Structure 1
Amino acid sequence: MNALTQPVAVVQSLAGSQHDLHHARNLLETTLAFVRQQPNITKDPYVISRFGDVKIRIEVAAALLERAEGLLDRHEEATEISVAVAESDLASAEALATASNAEFELTGRRTALPGSLHDPLRWKLHLIGNFRLNGIHPPSVHPSAKEAV
């Protein structure tokens, strides 16, 4: 079984996105605090751009999470919910990875983060792409089952 064939509770998946997003925001704040204590690097164009990149990825992830939660709250079609949740999961994981990498690049430290080996992200890319490109509904989604993704 993989992320395409294994039903995952929507609420559980959204909680994972929220968790990753929370950690990404915390990493951004701690990295900002550290760098601001180093006045000689706060004007470096690379450092400035890196913070812009991290912030944008976090905001995109937050918007996709909000969209997925909205679709769920409005009881939209199960496939749309499934794909929106997968998009949120990917964006949140990407924001967290970007924040973690920026932390290491700019501070020399890396905060240990929990992994998500139970739900590999690469399968979510396939799920999203196959639906958006080919209109193929995820096999784990049944039109009448909104509680499973």
Structure 2
Amino acid sequence: MNALTQPIVADQPLTKSQHDLHNARSLLDATLRFVRQQAQATSDPYVISRVGDLHIRIEVAAALLERADEFLNSHEDDTEISVAIAESHLASADALNAVSNAEFELTGQRTVLHGSLQDPLRWKLHLIGNFRLNGIHPHKFSYVTY
């Protein structure tokens, strides 16, 4: 079982990443079904490249989710856990945002995804950057809220 097939467990530090990743995958699948019905779209170089980009974003998000889950379960340093979870949240949100934008570009429609915009992603970027650049550790146990 990998991050794309793993069941979502509520109220866990990685639940947000799991939701965003599953939503991104489902939305991409629906978008691909639509695009495949359009004869000319399947041979359009832009569409083909866009699908490749989206697939990579989802795979990267899945890998970072699995990595964060390993950190969380191995009881490593709290800082590394916080940073890994923040990286997972950012990658999953980025994948979902990219797929949502592509859905609109390729189908002319946008699926409403409840709760996907309620996470302060810019603070996760700050947390990661401040740790990697300056060695500043996030607040202890901050991964619970990330």
Structures share a fold, TM > 0.5?
yes
Deviation readout 1:10-64 (Å, 9 max, x if unpaired): x633000000000000011000000001111111000000001111000000000
**CA contact 2:85–2:143 (8 Å) conserved in 1:** no
Given residue 132 of structure 1, which amino acid in structure 2 is its aligned partner? Answer: R
Given residue 16 of structure 2, which amino acid in structure 1 is its aligned partner? Answer: G
Gaps of 5+ in 2: 1-10
Where has structure 1 moved over 6 Å in runs of 4 or more? none
* Counterpart residue number, 1:70: 70
TM-score, scaled relative to structure 1: 0.85
TM-score, scaled relative to structure 2: 0.87
Distance 2:121 2:144 in 1: 20
* Counterpart residue number, 2:22: 22
SS of residue paired to 2:76: coil
**CA contact 1:13–1:89 (8 Å) conserved in 2:** no
Distance 2:47 2:60 in 1: 20
Distance 2:36 2:136 in 1: 48
How many correspondences in the alignment?
Answer: 136
SS of residue paired to 2:124: helix
Q: Residues 147 and 105 (structure 1 numbering): CA distance in 2 closer, same or farther, change over 3 Å?
A: closer
* Counterpart residue number, 1:113: 113
The alignment-based identity, stated in percent, is 70
* Counterpart residue number, 2:6: none
Distance 1:43 1:64 in 2: 31
**CA contact 2:13–2:143 (8 Å) conserved in 1:** no
Shift of 1:114: 1.8
Shift of 1:119: 3.0
* Counterpart residue number, 2:140: 141
Distance 1:100 1:56 in 2: 15
